[in-house]
């Protein structure tokens, strides 16, 4: 299984494989054509309330737990399973605008997909 996380602001690379935007909001300053997004499963992104709570000073550990609970909802769980199946056959690149992807929802998704 080959899954990685990259910032959406980095130029697309041929080895990205399936490019999946995992942010709920479209990233500022990026043209949709230039982003080369293959999928944008908004049900896999943190809720607006959770995102605002985390950016308001919430801890990463608590964010992670709350986000995993959101991902257990039927629609999100189905999308996560589908993405996991896709990743078995090809490289998947999770794209985020987060300045610290290693402490973001994208990292949680990466670990759930590869763990």
Residues 9-18: pLDDT tens digits?
A: 999 999 999 9
Domain that holds residue 88: 3-114
Using alpha carbons, select from 78, 59, 71, 75 the residue that is nearest to residue 110.
71
Proportion of the chain above pLDDT 70, given as a percent: 99
pTM of the predicted model as reported, rounded to 2 decimal places: 0.93
Do 12 and 88 touch, CB atoms closer than 8 A?
no
Q: Between the CA of residue 49 and those of 56, 58, 101, what are the distances in Å?
A: 10, 12, 19
pLDDT in 10s for each residue of the chain, 115 residues: 699 999 999 999 999 999 999 999 999 999 999 899 999 999 999 999 999 999 999 999 999 999 999 999 999 999 999 999 998 889 999 999 999 999 999 999 999 999 8
Tally of domains within the chain: 1
What pLDDT, on a 0 to 100 scale, did the predictor assign at position 89? 87
């Amino acid at each position: 299984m080959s899954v990685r996380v990259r910032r959406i602001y980095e130029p697309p690379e041929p080895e990205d494989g399936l490019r999946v935007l995992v942010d709920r909001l479209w990233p500022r300053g990026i043209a949709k054509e230039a982003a080369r997004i293959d999928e944008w499963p908004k049900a896999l992104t943190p809720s607006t309330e959770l995102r605002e709570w985390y950016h308001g000073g919430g801890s990463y550990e608590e964010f992670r737990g709350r986000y995993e609970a959101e991902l257990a909802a039927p629609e999100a769980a189905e999308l996560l399973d589908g993405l996991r199946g896709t990743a078995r056959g090809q490289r998947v690149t999770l794209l985020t605008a987060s300045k610290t992807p290693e402490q973001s929802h994208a990292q949680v998704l990466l670990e759930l997909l590869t763990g």
